[in-house]
Structure 1
Amino acid sequence: MNKRILSFIAVLALTLYAGAVSAQQLSLSQISAYLNQLQTAQGGFTQINPDGTLSTGQIYIKRPGRIRFEYNAPSDSLVMASGGQLAIFDPRSNTGPDRYPLNQTPLSIILQNNVDLERADMVTNVTSDGTTTTVTAQDPDNPNYGSIQLVFTANPVELRQWIVTDEFGTETTVILNDLIMGSVIRDVLFNINVETRRRGN
């Protein structure tokens, strides 16, 4: 076969392959739209802790501003965000939950009322392996609060996992499974004061 034809076929094949790969990379506007449409969701999760151990549990999301992680035994911990606060319940403690301002954690990026990843300096990196798109985002006004890496698949767009890096550089990975969107979730699941009273703190 003519070398020129062979070269043309090779270039065409590479172009088609590159197009197929890039077609899988999601734009920031697509991801922002997906997160803004995600009003409620629930499912299971597996967490890779900073020390390499694994935790499992159930997750409930009710945007804006609310999320709940129920950890299975032996941890039996509970983490929830509501009313602008992030509360961490330790079953071994009798002094109530540790509380932090939600806007000082990277989770606030996906829980805010209007997610706009195209906002200046919000996204620091975007990568794609042809199957998933990973977006690294931080609060542009407070980059010292840490960052979050969000991993999405396309067709349909789905959030698969995230990696939170705190202000000390410690990483925690949360892998989502069987996430069901649009479920009815009771508000009481995110009520920090009710949970505190229930635990007798």
Structure 2
Amino acid sequence: MRLHKVLLQACFALLLLSQGGAAQTTAENTAENTAENRVENTENRAALKHISTYLDQLDNMAGTFLQIDQQGNASTGQFLMKRPGLMRFDYDPPQKLKVVADGKWLAVQETPGEKADRYPLSQTPLPIFWGETSLSDKADYIARLDVFDAAAEMLLQDPQGDFPGYARLTFDYQGTPDTVNLRSWHVVDAQGQAITIILNDLQKRENIDRNDFRLDEPRRRPYGKF
């Protein structure tokens, strides 16, 4: 599987499903099927609330990342994140890859200045994790939450089974809302392809502009002109 196909399936965390599908599923679920009622104890229920609130408030972030693929190959780079729906991952040399979500499309550019491959953002995981709605609105996709001494892991999986595979998000967490910090995500797709992205130097940056989520590409010629 080509690298950009793996990224499309896994780079932005969660599951491969559309925003509309998630909304419909949530509407059909009753209160008894929410993640809070499935979490086993009071400590984990508190962690679920703290983590959901943290993700809902996460915005205008920047930092560096380490990506590890199925074969153990490592790549590094820089990222920008701006809610709703904007992300940019620039890979360090020798790779030239750029992955940009502009709110409507997910663009994968393998060489700077060349035409990028584009995919509808609604067909990627991004609207769940980085959209306008709250993670708590998609509670049925939270299959499990484990809390440790200084960390927590959230497992996400499609409850209907239409999108095989799973995602595991790891957080720094010491029992209080102010200790939550997203550290990494690990995604396994239906074919067993796995990818891990570890976030480093995560910091809030107020001056991120929407123009930062545009790629340098060849301009399209007007129809009928050469």
User: TM range, normalised to the smaller chain?
Assistant: 0.7 to 0.9
2:216 corresponds to:
195
**What 5-or-longer segments of structure 2 have no aligned partner?**
1-41, 220-226
- The partner residue of 1:86 within 95, 100, 106 is 106
Contact 1:107-1:148 at 8 Å conserved across structures? no
Change (3 A) 1:129 1:177: same
Tell me how far 1:30 sits from its aligned partner.
1.5
2:140 corresponds to:
121
2:167 corresponds to:
148
2:124 corresponds to:
105
- The partner residue of 1:62 within 82, 91, 95 is 82
Cα distance in structure 1, aligned partners of 2:217 and 2:160? 32
Tell me how far 1:166 sits from its aligned partner.
3.0
Correspondence list, 1:157-196, <5 A: 157-191=180-214, 194-196=215-217
Change (3 A) 1:142 1:79: farther
Q: Which has the higher contact order (CA 8 A, sep 6+)?
A: 2
Change (3 A) 1:92 1:40: closer
**What 5-or-longer segments of structure 1 have no aligned partner?**
1-21
Cα distance in structure 2, aligned partners of 1:28 and 1:118? 13
Looking at secondary structure, tell me which structure has more strand per residue: 1
TM-score (norm 1): 0.75
Q: How many residues align?
A: 174
Tell me how far 1:131 sits from its aligned partner.
1.7
TM-score (norm 2): 0.67
SS of 1:99's equivalent?
A: strand
Runs of 4+ in 1 over 3 A off after TM superposition: 22-26, 117-120, 138-143
Q: Which amino acid aligns with 2:213?
A: F
Tell me how far 1:146 sits from its aligned partner.
4.7
CA-atom RMSD, angstroms? Answer: 2.7
SS of 2:179's equivalent?
A: coil
Cα distance in structure 2, aligned partners of 1:152 and 1:25? 15
Compare CA radii of gyration and give the structure with the larger one: 1
Q: Which amino acid aligns with 1:77?
A: L
Write the deviation string for residues 6-44 of structure 1: whole angstroms up to 9, x where unpaired: xxxxxxxxxxxxxxxx86886222112111111110001
2:73 corresponds to:
53
Tell me how far 1:170 sits from its aligned partner.
1.4
